[in-house]
Amino acid sequence: MLMTRENQGSDYFMVRLSSRDFSRLSRFVYEQCGIKMPEAKKTMLEGRLQKRLRVLGMTSFAEYIDYLFDPSENNQELVQMIDQVTTNKTDFFREPDHFDYLREQVLPAWWEKCGTRRLMLWSAGCSTGQEPYTLAMVLSEFAASRNGFDFQILATDISTRALDQARKAVYNEDLLAPVPQALKTKYLLRSKDRQSGLVRIVPQLRARVKLRRLNFLETDFGLREPLDIIFCRNVIIYFDRPTQARLLQRFYDNLRIGGYVFMGHSETLSGLDVPLVSVAPTVYRKMR
């Protein structure tokens, strides 16, 4: 058992992750979630999983991995482990030119052609909810001047911890700095305890966002009808190229003709054999 005392006089011990156990864990994460865990992530993985070992009363990563891999346990440890190792970085109005393009180009054209039905949008990899609630604000503002415009946002993530935060829709007021003041006034509720610095998304926006857990490696996404728009930004960078290609092909298959895929500014379809056409920086469209 490889352990070190982090602080003299403390009962807390740091369990070290051997290269062999890291290899086993990283391979398992890739097989289950498609997420790459290179050697550079070893220290991060070691640190994030300490809490799980303490909760389970385990004193080595070898013991933890045996428990994680044991099919007879039939437990939710995979979900707990994924919650610890996934990164949930997001902001309101992150990469704002995407929302400008949505507001100025995509929505007016869609309304003119398809306004008699509900617009279906998917925030794929929604993290703690900032993206889908930003989208709900933008779509609600568009609806305010278009009688009959209707929309629904599906928001999914692999992390149950992130989804719990998204369902609460409570955020520190500092995180709302990118939101225009007019939208803050309309769509945010301040806590009765003004010293807390907390705000909550209004109920009418929360009702527009359907949250659920989804692993991109699942064979069935559970989508009941084709989508008009998919936001999947700063997510596929964690996958290798073959996994990226398979995922984007599935996005394509679930889009209506004319539908859009918005990706993060650090992501590209270059070199991937996916029949989506670039129409703006990191915005792609299904043309046929």
Listed in sequence order, the DSSP H helices in the chain are 19-33, 42-48, 50-56, 61-69, 77-85, 97-101, 107-114, 130-144, 160-168, 181-187, 203-206, 241-253
Structural domain boundaries in the chain: 3-85, 97-170+200-285
CATH of domain 3-85: 1.10.155.10
- Rounded mean pLDDT, 185-209: 92
Task: Indicate whether 90 pLDDT > 90.
Answer: no
Model confidence pLDDT, tens digit, residues 8-41: 334 446 788 898 999 988 888 888 888 888 888 8
How confident is the model at residue 13, as a pLDDT?
A: 60
Residues marked as catalytic: 48, 157
pTM value? Answer: 0.85
Distance between CA atoms of residues 109 and 63, nearest Å: 57
How confident is the model at residue 7, as a pLDDT?
A: 39
Model confidence pLDDT, tens digit, residues 198-232: 999 999 999 999 999 999 988 889 898 999 999 99
How confident is the model at residue 73, as a pLDDT?
A: 59
CATH architecture of the region 97-170+200-285: 3-Layer(aba) Sandwich (3.40)
Mean predicted lDDT score pLDDT of the chain: 89
**How distant, in Å, are the alpha carbons of 52, 64, 124, 244 from that of 158?**
18, 21, 10, 16
Task: Indicate whether 89 pLDDT > 80.
Answer: no
